A and B are shown apart, each in its own frame.
Chain A
Amino acid sequence: MNARREDRRARTLLTPEGLALPITLAPRASRAGALIIDVMIIVFSLVAIPLLLALIVDGLFDDSPLARANVDDRVAEFLGILAILFAFFTWYGYFLVQELGPRGATLGKRMVGIRIAARGGARLTPEAVIARNLLRDIEIFYPLITLFVLLVVARNEAPIGILGWVMTGWFLLFLLFPFFNRDSLRAGDIVAGTWVVERPRTKLAKVLSVEGAAKGASDVTGVRYAFGEAELSIYGEKELQTLERMLRESPPEALAAVHETICRKIGWDPGAGDERAFLEAYYAQLRNRLEADLRFGKRKADKFA
């Protein structure tokens, strides 16, 4: 089930060199999470920090020229303008500057491990980033604020008529937009030609064929495992890569089970105690054989092929 979901989010990106790179679209849940984090950061810095500053100033300088009662009207007005401009530029600048940066992601997106990219392998441009962020306003914030205002109006017993439903419908339309297309694009993504993808983070794993029984004899028993043609022709690439993953990650108990399965399949008598060495040797020799076939253009996808 999980694998099938991953499949549905897999896309291919063609680089200018003609190389097809697999990319994964970001799940909608992480995008929502990223947005919530971002909005929380903005709201916090727009509301909490000025409030805190005001409190500190009020408290510290009770009878100084900086106390609120003593501040000139013009100074207060100037500060008010600064606050409005600060809010405006924070609101738009936060997304713009960060998404144009080398990571292509806001703080929230970075935390959940996603970034924006141009659809279909084109270059991401400043215009695209601006377009997708301007549309965010009408998608989410404009209807939310209107709904909030309507709520206040309705509380004061003024009639708001059908407008409430209209705004709710608008809000839901854009909120659910990503569910109605294959690439889970929101309206801003469509207009800007962008999509949101997962940021890959894979470390280079160890080389398996330089250690232990892959090279020679087992450390435990000193036995040198050698497999013949018949024993190596049973499995294909899929099984090989499963075995590789298990050798890298799995605990000894799981390896023991695999060891037993393989022994039965190739007709050996499964012993005990030296499972890892056996699997390392089998992995190295199976891979050697499959890669030799590969060089001659013969692929064996799995054991049924």
Chain B
Amino acid sequence: MKAPVISSWFGRGQGETPPDIESAALRSDRFRLEREGDWKRLEAILVRMEKGGLRRIADDDLIALPALYRTAASSLSVARETSLDAATLAYLEALVQRAWFQVYGPRTGFVRWLRDFLFGGWSRAVRELWLDICIALFVMVAGTVVGWLLVAQDEAWFYRLFPANPGDVRAPGATREQLLKSLEHEEGAAGLAGFAAQLFSNNSGVCILAFALGFCFGIPSLLLLVHNMALLGALLWLFNGQGLVVELAAWLSVHGTTELFGILLSGAAGLHIGRAMAFPGKRPVLDAAALAGRRSAVVMVGVVIMMVVAALLEAFPRQLVEDTGSRFIIGGSLLAFWLAYFILYRPAPRAAEVAA
């Protein structure tokens, strides 16, 4: 390779007129000279497409692109059978490959994809994971129960689950008043927005981790779910001791319905990959993993959006709304919204997606 990178950044040495076709002594060179113009036109279009999307390309060129691509592809297969000119063959192979990347490249840009995703793609992907979601839900409930039982049997477990935090009153032995106070709202809204941004960053990190750990056959994803839910179970036990479980549930439900749903989905997405790798069925393992990975990636983008919503809820309404009933209404209506969106919202997929 002779320093092609730098030279191609600056001006391109073009403008040479091709030699006369009749002057070529070899038949294969005449073949090449006859088609060279088309190849060069294709190359010029490709360079412009690679540089800056479709807007800078004339309509004529865009319409000609598929035909030019097929011309180049058929030139290549003819040349392979008739020409021994290694340089031309290498050029054609590179040209067809570059054209292939453009003609059969990603069909939609990011913005267009996001729109399709919000209006149908997301809920469809979630429904495709129904089995994994059921398993993850079971594991989460089991984790909560385990957390409760562990702490109920031996209080030492509470400190193991929540490493000692000096300022926190939420520990065994806390009075009813202390616990109730920890559920109250804070003064004003100062500092809450920053708090929300931090929560979002942290929670979506946990979710991405739960998803990515699915790569190890899904086991670590499930463990992560159990651990997180055991914390919840321990907290429930603590507040139950003072008869405050309803208040705690209301306090949690404001953002928890969204956040726990998000964690459920990310755990399920991780599990989906893990399951596909452990039990690939009739497909090769790599294909099965890739199929599952792409499906769960869609769900994960949705989870990040849910985490944004959850963080906003956690920072503002939860801290500002004090009434137990209102908290339940906020949390409950969000849960209803998510369920309706995922289960009832079923727009028909666009024709292009069906073909793909």
Q: Which residues of A contact B (CB under 8 A)?
A: 13, 15-17, 19, 21-23, 73-74, 77-78, 80-81, 84-85, 88, 96-97, 100-104, 111, 113, 115, 117, 119, 123-131, 134-135, 137-139, 142, 187, 190-194, 199-205, 207-211, 214-215, 237, 240-241, 244-245, 248, 284, 287-288, 290-291, 294-295
B227 contacts A by Cβ under 8 Å: no
Query: In B277-293, which residues have CB < 8 Å from any A CB?
Result: 286-287, 289-293
Cα distance A80–B100 when bound, in Å? 45
Interchain CB contact (< 8 A) of A240 among B33, B84, B201, B290: B84
B93 contacts A by Cβ under 8 Å: yes
Query: In B325-340, which residues have CB < 8 Å from any A CB?
Result: none
Task: Identify the closest chain B residue to A76 (Cβ).
Answer: B194
Interchain CB contact (< 8 A) of B290 among A117, A190, A202, A288: A190
Q: Which residues of B contact A (CB under 8 A)?
A: 4-5, 8, 18-20, 23-29, 32-33, 36, 39-40, 43, 49-50, 53, 70, 73, 76-77, 81-88, 90-91, 93-98, 100-102, 104-110, 113, 190-191, 193-194, 196-198, 200-201, 204, 208-209, 211-213, 215, 273, 286-287, 289-298, 300-301, 356
Which of A126, A134, A135, A248 lies at the interface centre, i.e. has the most chain B CB atoms within 10 A of its CB? A126
Given A126-B108, A207-B29, A13 and B97 touching (CB < 8 A)?
yes
Cα distance A294–B144 when bound, in Å? 75
Task: Identify the closest chain A residue to B108 (Cβ).
Answer: A126
Chain A residues with Cβ below 8 Å from B19 are 207, 210-211
Give chain B nearest CB distance to A73 CB in angstroms.
7
Given A193-B291, A207-B29, A245-B86, A113 and B5 touching (CB < 8 A)?
yes
Contact in complex: A135, B212 (CB < 8 Å): yes
Contact in complex: B96, A19 (CB < 8 Å): yes
Give chain B nearest CB distance to A50 CB in angstroms.
15
Given A96-B110, A134-B300, A135-B215, A204 and B40 touching (CB < 8 A)?
yes
Contact in complex: B108, A202 (CB < 8 Å): no
Interchain CB contact (< 8 A) of A77 among B70, B194, B293: B194
Task: Identify the closest chain A residue to B189 (Cβ).
Answer: A74
Contact in complex: A15, B23 (CB < 8 Å): no
Contact in complex: B215, A191 (CB < 8 Å): yes
Contact in complex: B300, A130 (CB < 8 Å): yes
Task: Identify the closest chain B residue to A287 (Cβ).
Answer: B84
Contact in complex: A192, B294 (CB < 8 Å): yes
Cα distance A19–B100 when bound, in Å? 11
Contact in complex: B25, A200 (CB < 8 Å): no
Chain B residues with Cβ below 8 Å from A127 are 294-295, 297-298
Given A113-B5, A119-B290, A137-B212, A205 and B102 touching (CB < 8 A)?
no
